[in-house]
A and B are shown apart, each in its own frame.
Chain A
Amino acid sequence: MNFDLSDEQRQLAAAAADFFASAASPSAARASLDEGAPIAPGRKAITDTGFAAITVPESAGGGGGSVLDLAVVAEQAGRVLAGPSLITAARAAVLLEGNDEWLSALADGSKSFAILDGDGGATLDATTADTFLALRDGALVVGGGTVTERSPIDATRGLADVVLDDTKVVAAGASQWARARQVAQVVLGAEGLGTASKALEVAVDYAKQRVAFGRQIGSYQAIKHSLVDAFVGVEQLRSLVWWAAWTSDESPEDLPLAAAAVKGMAATVLETTAETLVQVHGGIGFTWEHDAHLYWRRAKVDRFLLGDDVEAFDTVARLAIAGAAK
């Protein structure tokens, strides 16, 4: 058994950490929220690094990598609240499988994709997109769209309502639709893992410094134990993200359950960790000027992306029950 990242994946994660730490940050997320500044690092930078096209085949100008490769990069993106997401990139790469023309446009950045669930409410990465993929009458369609921005709780997710304009059919069938959404859930989980582990580090650092009643507050069990519970959650999530990413690549029959498990767990772990981050900081953690709410905003938005945790855990249960009844 070798349930661990490879040396190459660790190097990839380190390279991604360097890039994202220099190109995005909570300050940048704050600027997007306060001033409507462009989301950092932005489409072009993420495309230029090749990270957005890791799972696009080499024949279409992509990296030819695995979902697990992308997941270790996505974790680093999540740590600094980077956008646009790698979720959309991964999902588009699956949807456009076999269509090298469109895949090349994804890989070289000549098209900026977003993907509509349902009729186009709250669409991830829509504000920076010019090309929309959707499921219409059982077919995968592509087209332009009218984007209506509202006031998002997290400004780094590029959320907006979208109405499709002119569309044309890319593929008559849409056999990849479900799998694309599941792979996207895995990458969403990986970004959530990064955000949660960074939020935990910020909280732990503060608990080591802040003194109350003559002691560092991290020495009190009430603080220590809530941080440990968050830590256990983060490590549990890491295991699920790795496993689910591995099933995407190597064991597709397990992907539906693994993806739902990751989606649900990422929602709850990130939410718990972000709320712990606020609580450990006390009053300062509740201010606009502190970064805590930027992580919290990500948590409050991410839990609804690609279905909420309630839907995800219901799916886990249905699949597990069906498996047991066989």
Chain B
Amino acid sequence: MDFDDTPEEAAYRAGVRDYIAKHRDELMSIGEGGRRDVDLEAAKRHQALMYDGGLVGVTWPKEYGGQGGTQMQQAIVNQEVAKAGLAGFVGVIGLGMCGPTVIAHGSDDQKSRYLGRLLRGDDVWCQLFSEPASGSDLAALRTRAVKTDSGSWRVNGQKVWTTLAHVSDYGILLTRTDPDVAKHRGLTMFVVDMKAPGVTVRPLRQMSGVSEFNEVFFDDVEIPDEERLGEVGDGWRVALTTLMSERLSLGGGGTDVGTGLESAAAHVAKRIGALPEGRQALVRQEFGRQYAASLATRYTGYRQLSAISKGAMPGPEASAGKLAGTKTGRALADLGVRLLGEEGVYASTAEGDGRWQSSQAGLPGMAIAGGTDEILRNVLGERVLGLPPEPRADKGMSFNDSLKLGGTPAHAGGTQ
């Protein structure tokens, strides 16, 4: 047991560090990636610069412009990027999810047209999966694609929670092409041009006040058959490639959820002395519990990294890290706000520090995105503990028949 790099890993890490240090000024010139207020051109230049250093598409095959590297090398890049405080890539969705799906299921023509530009950040991609009536139950989606006489496809429907759609050039779009078979069977995946006529993107504002994602409407959008990804009716299998890649790109690997353990400790250290004695003991008790839990999550991530380093693929047990990390991240954010005392009612302190309030408002999203806590518990319970599956009322039914089961209307608004 050790926490050291192998000589090869150490050499690789040194190269990554050198490159980041050499281009530090330029790389630090943009803010956080993915935010609506991001300077798109600057974000694209940032990704291109990282690509030139071999730090983008680390695990992608060389024939598609990647580095042909290992998952461990990708983890090293992630660690060094985090350590240097660099912004995330504007191409995060494309690199983590869309690109791998095109590699696995795209035609040679699609690969040559899309992958190189995606890697360099010339094109931005989004993933059009969730809908108002299908979140956790993704395969119940309703966006329809109908084949026209000319052989192309006409798409109508709505997607939602689509990160980066507002700046995207392309998206991978999961549609229903056959409603008369079981819900998983009647799906087909396409690449859609986000600038095509009939595509409308509207921003959604999150409860934190930030706008990172969108709703996307498709009104008679025409997609050529050449832009299909995989076979007609094989969309669920194609989508699983995307979701597997998502798990890889969210691989954890010992990074903290939320504001980070060390900054939480610094915050507690700074504030605790001003509290009455009895209150200090309460703060220490809560902080000690969350600190220990965060360390446990970090070292669980290191166990996964070690397995990856030996060539294993992250399995469903990686979900345990997200569950635990989200829980402690939220608890630490709550403690962080509480330590502000009365100031905690304002969006930021008098000195203008709003980190804890932002974290408090942003982290509920972590318990929902990328698999809700409840879905992850089902996955762990069924795939890891081997417990019997959830009963499904729509099992063995065609999609059309399942609609008669009732339940939620297509769009249930929260405003009265």
Q: Do A and B interact?
A: yes
Q: Which range contains the number of A residues in contact with the other chain?
A: 35 or more
A316 and B324 alpha carbons, distance in the complex (Å): 19
Q: In the complex the two chains form, is B285's CB within 8 Å of A227's CB? A: no
Q: In the complex the two chains form, is B295's CB within 8 Å of A208's CB? A: no
Q: Which of B1, B281, B293 contacts A5 (CB 8 A)?
A: B1
A219 CB-CB contact with B under 8 Å: yes
Residue of B nearest to A251 (CB): B3
Q: In the complex the two chains form, is B303's CB within 8 Å of A3's CB? A: yes
Interface residues of A in 226-257 (CB under 8 A from B): 227-229, 231-232, 235-240, 242-243, 246, 250
Q: Which of A4, A223, A316 contacts B291 (CB 8 A)?
A: A316
**For A313, A314, A322, which residue has the most chain B Cβ atoms within 10 angstroms?**
A313
CB-defined interface of B313-331 with A at 8 Å, one 1/0 digit per residue? 0000100100110000000
Interface size on B, residues (CB 8 A): 52
A223 and B390 alpha carbons, distance in the complex (Å): 11
Instruction: Using known A-B contacts A239-B303, A313-B285, determine if residue A1 contacts B309 with beta carbons closer than 8 Å.
Output: yes
Residue of A nearest to B272 (CB): A321
Instruction: Using known A-B contacts A207-B387, A236-B300, determine if residue A261 contacts B381 with beta carbons closer than 8 Å.
Output: no
Interface residues of B in 282-299 (CB under 8 A from A): 283-285, 287-289, 291-293, 295-297, 299
Q: In the complex the two chains form, is A231's CB within 8 Å of B296's CB? A: no
B378 CB-CB contact with A under 8 Å: yes
Q: In the complex the two chains form, is A225's CB within 8 Å of B269's CB? A: no
Stretch from B23-31, B62-70, B196-204, B260-268 that touches the partner? B260-268
A250 and B1 alpha carbons, distance in the complex (Å): 10
B2 CB-CB contact with A under 8 Å: yes
Instruction: Using known A-B contacts A1-B3, A239-B299, A240-B292, determine if residue A227 contacts B387 with beta carbons closer than 8 Å.
Output: yes
B250 CB-CB contact with A under 8 Å: no
A248 and B387 alpha carbons, distance in the complex (Å): 37
Q: In the complex the two chains form, is B387's CB within 8 Å of A218's CB? A: yes
Q: In the complex the two chains form, is B391's CB within 8 Å of A3's CB? A: no
Instruction: Using known A-B contacts A2-B309, A321-B272, determine if residue A261 contacts B291 with beta carbons closer than 8 Å.
Output: yes
Q: What are 20 pairs between A and B in contact, CB < 8 Å?
A: A1-B306, A2-B1, A2-B4, A3-B305, A3-B306, A4-B303, A6-B1, A215-B388, A215-B391, A216-B387, A219-B387, A221-B378, A225-B374, A231-B380, A240-B296, A250-B2, A261-B291, A313-B292, A314-B284, A317-B268
Instruction: Point out residues on B near A: beta carbons under 8 Å.
Output: 1-5, 9, 262, 265-266, 268-269, 272, 281, 283-285, 287-289, 291-293, 295-297, 299-300, 302-303, 305-307, 309-310, 317, 320, 323-324, 374, 377-378, 380-382, 384-391
Instruction: Point out residues on A near B: beta carbons under 8 Å.
Output: 1-6, 68, 204, 207-208, 215-216, 218-219, 221, 223-225, 227-229, 231-232, 235-240, 242-243, 246, 250, 258, 260-261, 264-265, 268, 310, 312-318, 320-325
Q: Which 8 residue pairs spanning A and B have beta carbons closest together?
A: A313-B288, A317-B288, A236-B296, A324-B265, A317-B284, A239-B299, A218-B387, A261-B292
